[in-house]
C-alpha cells in the first residue's frame, strides 16, 4: 500500500442533502459500548513475538494476546475493575480494539480555556469487541499521550492510573486522575489479527481490476472527507480511493474490519449488491445545481465479507450502477475465496 495525504472532495455543489438509515458525514470520534470480556477458552492460535520482542502467552478468541512478557493483558470489565481498584500509578496492560482517525477537527462547543482530557476534540476510542461500541471502556481510557503512529485496529497498551499530569485538567483533575492513561503501545496486531478473509491489499487489487483506480490511500492526518464522505466505523481501517469526484458509478471509500463478525456488528446490512441497492444501504443523497441544470447522486454502502465500500451511484440507481455492483461483488467474492484457500 502506498501512503501519503489525499484530499477527497466529493461535492462541488451549491446544495447538499443527506438521508438514509446509516447517518451522514463523518463524526469526530466514535464512542464504542460495553459488550463484556471476550470468551477466554484456548484458541489454538500460535504465539508470536510482540512488537517489543516480548513473548506472547496465549490468545483471546479474537487473536489478542492474553499475556505479553509474563504480564496479563486485561480486557473490558476486568480492565475497568483493576483501574478502579489500584491506588498508585503502577503500569499494567490492557487490550482491545481502537478506533482512531487522525487529523484536525472543528470543535465549536469546546471552550478555548478548557484543558480537560475528558473533552479532547480528537479522541482514540477503545472497545472490547471489534466493531462493537463500549462507552464505559472508551470513557475510562485516554490515548492523548500516545497518538503518534496510532491507527484503528487491535492494540495492547501499557497504562497507568493516578497520572500526575492529571493536574492539567483544572477543575476536572480528579476525574482525569481516575482515567487509564496510555503511556505506550506494546503491541498493535500480527497475523493472528490480520483482516479476514479480505485484506486491504486484496480489495485494492479488485478495485484496480474493476474500476482501474490507483493504490488505496490510508486515511492520515492530512486526509479530508467532505460532504457525504462517510463515517468512521469502529475498529475499521479506512482507505480513500483516488477517483474523479464526478465519476459514477465508482467506489470512493473502503473500510476494512478485522472479521466478518465485526463488519456485521458495526453495519448489520445483508452482504451483496441487492442489499446495496436497498433503502438501508443509502448513506446520503447529494444535490448539485448550476444556472443551467441540476442533478442528484447517491452514496451507498456495499457490504461483503469483512469489508464495507462506499459507492457513488446515480440517483435512483441505473442499470449501469447495478452491473457495476455485480462485477465488484463477484471480484471481491473471488478474492475472498482465493485468500481463504491459501490460509487452509
For the chain, which residues make up each domain, given as ranges?
7-26+194-343, 56-187
- Structure-model confidence comparison of residues 276 and 229, the more confident one: 276
Average confidence (pLDDT) over 103-109: 67
Q: Provide the pLDDT confidence category of residue 216 given band limits of 50, 70 and 90.
A: very high
User: What pLDDT does 266 receive?
Assistant: 93
Its sign, for the CA torsion 188, 82, 140, 32, is: positive
- 62 φ, ψ (degrees, to nearest 5): -95, 10
State percent of the chain over pLDDT 70: 78
Task: Read off the DSSP letter of residue 268.
Answer: -
Say which residues have a Cβ less than 8 Å from residue 126's Cβ, sequence separation at least 6. Answer: 32, 94, 96, 97, 98, 99, 134, 137, 138, 141, 143, 155
Specify which residues 288 forms β-bridges with: 295
Q: Provide the pLDDT confidence category of residue 120 given band limits of 50, 70 and 90.
A: confident
- What are the grid coordinates assigned to 75, written together? 480486557
Distance CA 21, CA 276 (A): 13
Distance CA 306, CA 167 (A): 42
Helix (H, G, I), strand (E, B), or coil: what is residue 130? coil
User: What pLDDT does 103 receive?
Assistant: 74
In a 13 Å sphere around the CA of 224, the CA atoms on its Cβ side amount to: 11
User: What pLDDT does 44 receive?
Assistant: 33
Say which residues have a Cβ less than 8 Å from residue 330's Cβ, sequence separation at least 6. Answer: none
User: What pLDDT does 222 receive?
Assistant: 82
- Structure-model confidence comparison of residues 115 and 98, the more confident one: 98
State the first-to-last Cα distance of the chain, in angstroms, to the nearest integer.
25
Task: Read off the DSSP letter of residue 232.
Answer: P
Asked if the model's pLDDT at residue 199 lies above 70, the reply is: yes
Distance CA 250, CA 245 (A): 9
- Structure-model confidence comparison of residues 338 and 113, the more confident one: 338
Asked if the model's pLDDT at residue 90 lies above 50, the reply is: yes
Q: Provide the pLDDT confidence category of residue 14 given band limits of 50, 70 and 90.
A: very low
Cα–Cα distances (Å) from 285 to 45, 81, 276, 295, 323, in that order, read 44, 45, 14, 10, 20
What mean pLDDT is reported for the chain? Answer: 82
Cα–Cα distances (Å) from 15 to 19, 243, 289, in that order, read 14, 22, 7
- 32 φ, ψ (degrees, to nearest 5): -70, 155
Closest Cα partner for 96 from 80, 119, 117, 116?
80
Spatial contact of 65 and 56, defined as CB atoms under 8 Å apart: yes
Question: Which residue in this structure is represented by grid cell 441505473?
Answer: 318
Least confident of 63-72, 121-130, 285-294: 285-294
User: What pLDDT does 163 receive?
Assistant: 95
Asked if the model's pLDDT at residue 112 lies above 70, the reply is: no
Amino acid at each position: 500500500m502506498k501512503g501519503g495525504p489525499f484530499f477527497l472532495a466529493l461535492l462541488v455543489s451549491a446544495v447538499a442533502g443527506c438521508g438514509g438509515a446509516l447517518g451522514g458525514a463523518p463524526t469526530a470520534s466514535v464512542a464504542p459500548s460495553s459488550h463484556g470480556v471476550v470468551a477466554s477458552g484456548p484458541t489454538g492460535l500460535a504465539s508470536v513475538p510482540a512488537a517489543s520482542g516480548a513473548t506472547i502467552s496465549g490468545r483471546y478468541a479474537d487473536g489478542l494476546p492474553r499475556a505479553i512478557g509474563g504480564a496479563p493483558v486485561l480486557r473490558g470489565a476486568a480492565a475497568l475493575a483493576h483501574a478502579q481498584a489500584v491506588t498508585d500509578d503502577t503500569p499494567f496492560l490492557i487490550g482491545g480494539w481502537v478506533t482512531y482517525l487522525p487529523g484536525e477537527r472543528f470543535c465549536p462547543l469546546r471552550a478555548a480555556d478548557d484543558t480537560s482530557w475528558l473533552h479532547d476534540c480528537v479522541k482514540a476510542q477503545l472497545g472490547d469487541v471489534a466493531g462493537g461500541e463500549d462507552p464505559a471502556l472508551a470513557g475510562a481510557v485516554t490515548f492523548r499521550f500516545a497518538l503518534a503512529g496510532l491507527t484503528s485496529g487491535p492494540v495492547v497498551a501499557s497504562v497507568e492510573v493516578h497520572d500526575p499530569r492529571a493536574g492539567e485538567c483544572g477543575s476536572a483533575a480528579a476525574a482525569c486522575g481516575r482515567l487509564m492513561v496510555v503511556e505506550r503501545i506494546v503491541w498493535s496486531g500480527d497475523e493472528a489479527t490480520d483482516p479476514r478473509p479480505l485484506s486491504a491489499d486484496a480489495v485494492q487489487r479488485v478495485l484496480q481490476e474493476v474500476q482501474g483506480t490507483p493504490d488505496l490511500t490510508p486515511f492520515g492526518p492530512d486526509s479530508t472527507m467532505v460532504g457525504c464522505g462517510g463515517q468512521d466505523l469502529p475498529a475499521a481501517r479506512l482507505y480513500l480511493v483516488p477517483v474523479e469526484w464526478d465519476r459514477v458509478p465508482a467506489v470512493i471509500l473502503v473500510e476494512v474490519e478485522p472479521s466478518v463478525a465485526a463488519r456485521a456488528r458495526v453495519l448489520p446490512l445483508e452482504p451483496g449488491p441487492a442489499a446495496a441497492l436497498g433503502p438501508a444501504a443509502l448513506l446520503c443523497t447529494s444535490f448539485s445545481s448550476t444556472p443551467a441544470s441540476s442533478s442528484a447522486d447517491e452514496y451507498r454502502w456495499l457490504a461483503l465479507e469483512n469489508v464495507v465500500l462506499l459507492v457513488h451511484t446515480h440517483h435512483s440507481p441505473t442499470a449501469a450502477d447495478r452491473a457495476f455492483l455485480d462485477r465488484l461483488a463477484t471480484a471481491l467474492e473471488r478474492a475472498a475465496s482465493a485468500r481463504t484457500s491459501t490460509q487452509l
